[in-house]
A and B are shown apart, each in its own frame.
Chain A
């Protein structure tokens, strides 16, 4: 069975601090895809990144970076120099070829000014 675990329920940081959101997944598939979504207070899920199981290269996009390690089944997300606008719930998700997303429980990030 597929499973995604986000052990951090809530994280609170002060603006400009770096913060890492953890994601651990379980799957028996050899081909799978990992995602991060952001859900701000408005409620709409915003796509951030997709990674396939054959691409372990880390990725950086502005203040966001992602660390994918198959050896530890982890796909962690780091925000550098956090801002108040980063406050949201962040979800890690896993899918196989059907595209059905299996979400973690989410991590609520609060960035204080």
Chain B
């Protein structure tokens, strides 16, 4: 049983560049969540999908951020025109269909914007 995987694990980019991260959830999980974690803080919710539908987006998710889950399997999170404030760990989690189910997290993608 493979867990949640994320790629890349680390990304260093220059301010103004676009970056894209990928998350592969646990295969039978319908829900997929994105969180962002900055140093010394707990993860903060960004958005989530139920199958291919994006059901909620946080106010943290500015217009420069977009997420997709095209066939209800893997998901991508794109940040356009990166800013230094985007530097953080981006975490993906998945769960079964209902909200009561436990979320299992991937290893995260650490983004550094220079």
Contact = CB atoms under 8 A, between A and B. Distances in A.
B89 interface: yes
Q: Give the size range of B's interface with the partner.
A: 20 to 34
Nearest to A46: B105
Contacts of B110: 43
B42 A105 contact: yes
Nearest to B3: A44
Contact of A98 (B35, B43, B55): B55
B74 to A, nearest CB: 18
Contacts of B35: 101
Contacts of A100: 33, 45, 48, 56, 99
Contact of A95 (B55, B99, B106): B99
Contact of B48 (A42, A50, A99): A99
Contacts of A106: 40-42
B108 interface: yes
Contact of B100 (A44, A97, A104): A97
A109 to B, nearest CB: 15
Given A47-B105, A98-B55, A99-B100, 5 more contacts: A33-B100, A91-B42, A99-B101, A101-B33, A105-B42
Please give me the 6 A-B residue pairs with the lowest Cβ-Cβ distance, nearest first: A103-B42, A99-B99, A45-B105, A97-B99, A44-B107, A50-B102
